[in-house]
Chain A
């Protein structure tokens, strides 16, 4: 039995940092295909110089992030059968980052922000091989380790998407889960991680509108499990005088 074939309409943004436009194209689609398959077919048959970043085609490398019908998505995980019959599918590069060419953007902002997050700091007397942790103590952090760094959360976050000037002072949801992961880690002893989250990485800029959670292809509950818990931890050390006083009278766990 042969696979069902049909023609689909696409509008693909083509251009560079100086200029660009959406270009219409019609291409064949087969049953079971995803948007990345269709883009590859366009590249093979009609636009041989179309720039697109991709790698694993399995939703694990985070390379093929783009905006499909205006929503930040992984092209390799967006199935063609989710679109209506005859619907024109619009494909653009990520709109929060500088465009390089066609569907490829410069996401180096994220790597700079990654370098600004203070690294994991275990107790000085613990040597490699001596780390011992209970499963219940690390499972919160493990959720955040699922991140594939597709940067869809960064792309959709209005703090930087709609305000270029905030990029200086805002790390973004991907790095809030990194900070939360470390702050919740049972062996991380770095002091002031909460304070720097607020003062240096811009946690207070987040107004918890949850778009990062909505677009995460790994279904990490970024807002509920990382950002809001970090905001509460920041309140403990910066905005709650009773907790602060309590921490001075007796050493309380978590208040550092």
Chain B
């Protein structure tokens, strides 16, 4: 017997004596994250309805294979056509690792999925079901220390998705000076992603947190204080930006499949 049932501890048979609904938050997290994973997987493998001039789904940007339709490839087709078992790979799968890796190694999401999926622990002062625990000291979890590399890759994606939002100030014929609901959707998505990245703990560390003497670096200190304010809301930005990506993709899918028309304000 280990943990709270160890021989020297108070003899209490329950794994927790909490009386509140401690299970609710992990249950909601499982439901929402699992729904997102299922939807994102479906869309990544679907490989259609992701582009409707001038809108491109964030799941498919940058579109890097020759399967990408004309106008969807901001960076050209450097990978040509990549096939696996005779089937062309979806362009989304080529870039998935970067946003996925950024979120998987994110300090907030780690808390969320360690608690909800791995139950380590399911909630505070609720005994976890595992007999052994080594934390993030061994493979594969020691790789969580690579969060900063995904952070920097994520910044590149933020730039690309911001360009996508700017390109959405065109109409379907490619003329500038127009704005549609799709423009707002992509702009909102890019803004939320920037907020998520800017509030990241690695960003906070890189911008100034690693310094010992703030007084010698007044500009970095000022930036650190701003990032620290955003950092308080990192969990919120993590969730809202996740919904933002999914909703932007849903919108583009509806427009691309002809289910709805992209309404133009001007």
By a beta-carbon cutoff of 8 Å, the part of chain A in contact with chain B is 13, 15, 17, 19-22, 67, 69-72, 87, 90, 92-93, 95-99, 105, 134, 136-137, 155-156, 158-159, 161-166, 184-186, 202, 204-211, 214-215, 224, 228-229, 231-236, 238-240, 253-255
B20-31 near A? 1/0 per residue, CB < 8 Å: 100000000000
Tell me if B121 is interfacial: C-beta within 8 Å of chain A.
yes
Q: Assuming the A-B contacts A70-B19, A156-B124, are A239 and B146 also in contact, with contact meaning beta carbons closer than 8 angstroms in the complex?
A: yes
Q: How large is the interface on B (under 10, 10 to 19, 20 to 34, 35 or more residues)?
A: 35 or more
Q: Assuming the A-B contacts A159-B135, A164-B3, A239-B145, are A90 and B125 also in contact, with contact meaning beta carbons closer than 8 angstroms in the complex?
A: no
Number of A-B contacts defined by CB within 8 Å: 170
Tell me the complex Cα distance, A92–B17, Å: 9
- Complex contact A134–B135 (CB within 8 A): no
Q: CB-nearest residue of chain A relative to B205?
A: A232
By a beta-carbon cutoff of 8 Å, the part of chain B in contact with chain A is 2-4, 6-12, 16-20, 107, 110-111, 114-115, 120-121, 124-128, 130, 132-137, 141-142, 145-148, 201-202, 204-205, 209-216, 221, 231-232
Tell me the complex Cα distance, A162–B134, Å: 12
**A254 contacts across to B, CB distance below 8 A:** 210-212
Looking at chain A's contact residues, is the secondary structure mostly helix, strand, loop, or mixed? mixed
**A90 contacts across to B, CB distance below 8 A:** 17, 19
> Could you list 6 further interchain pairs (A-B, Cβ under 8 angstroms) beyond the known A162-B133, A253-B211?
A67-B125, A70-B125, A105-B10, A205-B134, A207-B135, A235-B148
Tell me the complex Cα distance, A67–B121, Å: 17
**A158 contacts across to B, CB distance below 8 A:** 120-121, 127-128, 133
Q: CB-nearest residue of chain A relative to B204?
A: A229
- Complex contact A136–B221 (CB within 8 A): yes
- Complex contact A228–B3 (CB within 8 A): no
**17 A-B contact pairs sorted by A residue (CB < 8 Å):** A69-B19, A70-B18, A71-B125, A87-B19, A134-B215, A136-B214, A156-B125, A162-B128, A163-B2, A205-B133, A205-B134, A205-B137, A206-B135, A206-B136, A207-B141, A208-B107, A233-B210
- Complex contact B16–A204 (CB within 8 A): no
| Among A97, A207, A236, contact of B9 (Cβ-Cβ < 8 Å) | A97
Distance in Å from the Cβ of A54 to the closest Cβ of chain B?
A: 18
**B211 contacts across to A, CB distance below 8 A:** 253-254
**A97 contacts across to B, CB distance below 8 A:** 9
Looking at chain B's contact residues, is the secondary structure mostly helix, strand, loop, or mixed? loop
| 8 nearest CB pairs, A to B | A70-B18, A70-B17, A205-B135, A211-B124, A98-B8, A134-B215, A162-B3, A232-B205
Q: Assuming the A-B contacts A204-B136, A235-B145, are A253 and B2 also in contact, with contact meaning beta carbons closer than 8 angstroms in the complex?
A: no
Tell me the complex Cα distance, A215–B213, Å: 30
- Complex contact A96–B210 (CB within 8 A): no
Tell me the complex Cα distance, A178–B235, Å: 25
Q: Which among A13, A205, A207 has the highest number of chain B CB atoms within 10 Å?
A: A207
Distance in Å from the Cβ of A89 to the closest Cβ of chain B?
A: 9
Q: Which among B125, B211, B214 has the highest number of chain A CB atoms within 10 Å?
A: B125
- Complex contact B4–A95 (CB within 8 A): yes
**B19 contacts across to A, CB distance below 8 A:** 69-70, 87, 90
| Among B124, B136, B231, contact of A214 (Cβ-Cβ < 8 Å) | B124
Tell me the complex Cα distance, A119–B133, Å: 29
Distance in Å from the Cβ of A232 to the closest Cβ of chain B?
A: 4
Q: CB-nearest residue of chain B relative to A158?
A: B121
Q: CB-nearest residue of chain B relative to A18?
A: B11
Q: Assuming the A-B contacts A70-B17, A184-B212, are A162 and B111 also in contact, with contact meaning beta carbons closer than 8 angstroms in the complex?
A: no
| Among A155, A164, A232, contact of B2 (Cβ-Cβ < 8 Å) | A164
- Complex contact B124–A13 (CB within 8 A): no
**B6 contacts across to A, CB distance below 8 A:** 164
Tell me the complex Cα distance, A71–B16, Å: 9
Tell me the complex Cα distance, A19–B18, Å: 22
- Complex contact B4–A162 (CB within 8 A): yes
- Complex contact B212–A253 (CB within 8 A): yes
**B204 contacts across to A, CB distance below 8 A:** 229
